[in-house]
Amino acid sequence: MQKITLSFDNGPTPEITDHVLDVLERRNIHATFFVIGEKLADANARARTVRAHGAGHWIGNHSFTHKTPLGKMDDPAESVKEIENTQAALADFAHSRRFFRPFGGGGALGDHLLSRAAFDYLCAEKFTCVTWNMIPRDWEGDRGWIQRAFDIGADLDWGLVVLHDLPSGAMQYLDEFLQRLDDEGVEIVQDFPPDCLSIRQGVPTPVAAGYVSDPL
């Protein structure tokens, strides 16, 4: 692995997000935070998104409730609201490229990620849909996620890792992970690998069809 992009899902979470931001600030590293819309109703949680944005991190949309992959929702209109309501909650903090990351349910990629209605909405509203190629299962909380990340990354030129600013205990090892990246000469960048973008500012890429529940 020559370079890696860091992303953090499922926040903001007071204290945990603060710790992540402190670690990134000490190392002068920028990442993207894909936030859950309903969490932004809490002023303390929202303040962490404000802080992340102010520090130069990119802010993306990770659905409103994060309960069901959009391609598995019974009502297609509800899948659109999951995106639309979060984007409204993000307001001025959302990146100009309108980043959206679908909920995979354990990190799986497939046609469960988006309903056709959600896909059409993302294209019409010129979103950029960001997936991933590194899922080290940090939600399990043990430090083993560091080695799992490197095992996955060994087969990649450019990794896009999904971590979670949640109280699992995993983020206490974040600095160790970043130090190992530095020791092994892996460059940390903020942009995304092209093969992890199924929609670029409203334009579908060749991989898009594999992530939509109904045929395109």
CATH 3.20.20.370 fits 3-211, yes or no: yes
Confidence of residue 113 (pLDDT cuts 50, 70, 90): very high
pLDDT for res 51: 97
Q: What is the pLDDT of residues 153-204, one digit of tens each?
A: 999 999 999 999 999 999 999 999 999 999 999 999 999 999 999 999 999 9
pLDDT for res 216: 73
Instruction: Sort 86 into a burial class: Cβ within 10 Å, 0-12 / 13-18 / 19+.
Output: buried
pLDDT average, residue stretch 49-60: 98
pLDDT for res 215: 79
DSSP tag of 79? H
Q: For the chain, where are the E strands, in sequence order?
A: 3-9, 32-35, 58-61, 99-100, 128-130, 158-164, 187-189, 197-200, 203-204
Residue 147 has pLDDT above 80, yes or no: yes
What percent of the chain shows pLDDT beyond 90?
Answer: 98
pLDDT average, residue stretch 3-13: 98
> What Å distances lie between residue 18 and 21, 68, 85, 88, CA to CA?
5, 27, 25, 23
Domain ranges of the chain: 3-211
Three-state SS at 195: helix
pLDDT for res 185: 98
> What Å distances lie between residue 92 and 34, 58, 193, CA to CA?
15, 12, 25
